[in-house]
Structure 1
Amino acid sequence: MAEADPGPLTGLTPVREIAVADAADLSERLRGAERPFIIRGLVKDWPLVQAGLAGSRNARDYLLRKRQDRPFTVSIAPPDAGGRLWYTDDFAMNFRMAKAKLPEIFQKIDEAEAEEDSPAIYLASIDMHEYFDGLVEENDVDLSGRDPLRSIWIGTATRIAAHNDFPDNLACCAVGRRRFTLFPPDQFRNLYLGPVDNTPAGRAVSMVDFAAPDYDAHPRFREALAHAQVAELEPGDALFIPSMWWHHVEGLSDFNVLVNYWWRDTPRWLGQPQDALNHAMMSIRDLPEKDRAIWRDLFEHYVFGAGPEVTDHIPEKARSVLGPLTPESAGRIRAFLLRSLSR
């Protein structure tokens, strides 16, 4: 297999690069960061990175030694997909999901590397603690007090449509080369988002094919590109992606491994904003305009404004969920929602 070509999107602004002195410096740089940045060589000393530099099979052998003996979930797309995990013409998925143990999956990747026309094989967001023993201990970034979810992404050359995530993200290129094309959160209208409930990986994705943009069908994509940034990562490099930034991800080599860290600086007991958006689409979006206007005003009052006029007239001990949220009051809201939705 040949490595992926550079693609048609040229002349984009490179993501800025920074240097960090130590874990404390990294933690300080991450605190409140609102724009992406690259740290070259942050994880270059990882055993996984070093194994990959000696060859893709060396990297696979290293991962096999750390694996747990359990089935892994893998996505497999046909050769004619060109590595793009995407929709079919009737909006089913163009890939199938399967479960197999890692030696079997890696045998298929061995075979794919020897073929010119081979399927895309992709293991997405695998929990490193649950599926490997000792992998985190030997390959980790000290995030100083944060408690991130550590995931590993393994596969052949792939193209993952532009999407966003709620948590902050530190993505570490361990094996192969990666290209990220990033857009600020406010560019969602120019990315032509697809369905929210039928997606390749649980998040709405851009319907634009970045390898062959159709500017007649998606004319606003030109405006998105004016705000785009691109990050080209080599083994050992890391990219910080702030919460809600859109990112299109390409694994450019025949074999690619990424390790990423997701975390949020807000408590885990707070709800997921996407759940609130989905519920609002179900319960508010199709109301008459005059009713939507009322609810828009109520959201501004209780959610986006939430100023003193919401609670000053209520005794403090009686404010319940209108006051600052706690694990207990958040739990009361969650229980109330569950009862309401189950009717």
Structure 2
Amino acid sequence: MAEADPGILTGLAQVPEVAVADAAALDAHLRAATAPFVVRGLVRDWPLVRAGLESGRAARDYLLHHRRDVPFTVAVGASGNDPRLFYDAGMGMNFRQLRGKLPEIFAQIDAIEPYPAAPPIYLASIDIHDFFPGLHQANHVDLGDRQCLASIWIGTRTRIAAHNDTPANLACVAVGRRRFTLFPPDQFRNLYLGPIDNTPAGRTISMVDFHAPDLAQYPRFHEALAHAQTVELEPGDTLHIPSMWYHHVEGLEPFNVLVNYWWRETPAWLGQPQDALNHAILSIRDLPPEAKVHWRELFDHYVFEADDGVTAHIPQGGRGVLDPLTPETASRLRSYLLRQLGR
């Protein structure tokens, strides 16, 4: 079946590939990485990959063998030739969120798999340990002492708008093929991000249709493409996406499965920067201009340009949260913020 023409995305720089001999070599690449990289064939020996190479139905049967008998959340789009899961004309969603048991969902995929205009069906970011007992033990990457969230993404042909994630990410294609288009974090202005609080899946997304970009409406997108990288992954291939890199993701086959691992490079007890941004919108953005100038200077002083001069005049032992945070001081600060926000 012919795929949608990615048009303007052709000719982009390719994501670099690295060779990995063992877990130690992968760990070294991950620790040194400041940009995406691909490892071809890293997970080709997974039983799930082998099942998918047999057929989509064989892969579904393998997953059904491991699934818990509980409802799953699934996104179902409209029939047609566009597998893009996005906003509708009124800035609602162009898909429905439904609940169903996995055998019922897979029966629907069985029925529509031969049809090019079938609606996209997508199970996104399903916790492997909670929903697929035993799957991780048989299909996983050794990531050392990293505390990872392991998720599985299952669906038909889909297009997911460019977005980023705070954790680092290792994405492993188990079934089907996926195309990733990636952008450095500093390209956020050129991607024309949508709302923060009204999103398809919790993260702000690019409003640009990558297969039909309107450069009159989004002229800076051309600059973003100058910094973009792309890669098409086959079953068994993996892609490392560093923290905050934007990525547009396409499932290219009638049935696709991806397993990914998220981890933070910072301690888990530190707060989420997105929460601070949301709070700043609530409390600072709409202040009078002169007040915003003052708060910008305070943020520079205490956060972005903080140095020893911030605390040198305060006796040691009395600096509170101005000292480097610990789990204990972070917990006290979090409790204080919760009390303030609840007033």
TM-score, with length taken from structure 1: 0.98
1:316 correspondence with 2:316: yes
The answer to whether the 8 Å contact 1:3/1:254 transfers is: no
**Cα deviations by residue, 1:57-103 (Å, 9 ceiling, x for unpaired):** 00000000010111111000111371111111111111111111110
Matched residues in 2 for 1:180 and 1:170: separation?
Answer: 13
Residue 224 of structure 2 aligns with an amino acid whose one-letter code is: A
- Please, which moves more after superposition, 209-218 or 310-319? 310-319
Is the 1:164–1:247 contact (alpha carbons within 8 Å) kept by the matching residues of 2? yes
> Aligned residue for 1:263?
263
SS in 2 for 1:239: strand
Moved over 3 A (4+): none
1:50 aligns with 2:50: yes
The residue that corresponds to 2:132 in the other structure is 132
- 1:11-30 correspondence to structure 2 within 5 Å: 11-30=11-30
Q: Secondary structure at the match of 2:317?
A: helix
> Normalising by structure 2, what TM-score?
0.98
Q: Structure 1 stretch 249-258 or stretch 324-333: which is displaced more? A: 324-333
- Indicate whether 1:239 and 2:239 are aligned: yes
Taking only aligned residues, the RMSD between alpha carbons, in angstroms, comes to: 0.9
Q: How much does 1:316 deviate?
A: 1.7
Write the mapping of 1:271-286 to structure 2, written as runs, cut at 5 A. 271-286=271-286
Amino acid of the residue matched to residue 156 of structure 2? T
Provide, for residues 83-128 of structure 1, a one-character-per-residue CA deviation record: whole Å limited to 9, x for no partner: 1111111111111111111100000101110323211100000000
Q: Distance in 2 between matches of 1:193 and 1:292?
A: 23
- The question of whether the paired residues in 1 share the 8 Å contact of 2:5 and 2:211 is answered with no
**Matched positions, count:** 342
Q: For 1:247-295, what per-residue CA distance to the aligned partner results, in whole angstroms no more than 9, with x for missing partners? A: 0000000000000000011111111000000110111111111111111
Q: How does 1:27-42 map to 2 (within 5 A)?
A: 27-42=27-42
User: CA offsets per residue over residues 165-206 of structure 1, 9 Å max, x none?
Assistant: 000000000000000000000000000000000001111100
Confirm or deny: 8 A CA contact 1:20 1:26 kept in the other structure: yes
Check conservation: 1:3, 1:252, Cα contact below 8 A: no
Q: Is the 8 A contact 1:179 1:251 kept in 2?
A: yes
Q: CA contact under 8 A between 1:176 and 1:257: conserved in structure 2?
A: yes
Q: 1:5 Cα deviation (Å)?
A: 3.1
8 A Cα contact 2:16 2:36, kept in partner: yes
Identity of aligned residues (%): 65
In the alignment, which residue of structure 2 is the partner of 1:163? Answer: 163
Alpha-carbon distance between aligned partners in 1 of 2:332 and 2:297, rounded to the nearest angstrom? 24
- In the TM superposition, 1:1-343 aligns within 5 A as 2=1, 4-8=3-7, 9-80=9-80, 82-343=82-343
Distance 1:39 1:308, change over 3 A: same
Q: Any gaps of 5 or more consecutive residues in structure 1?
A: none
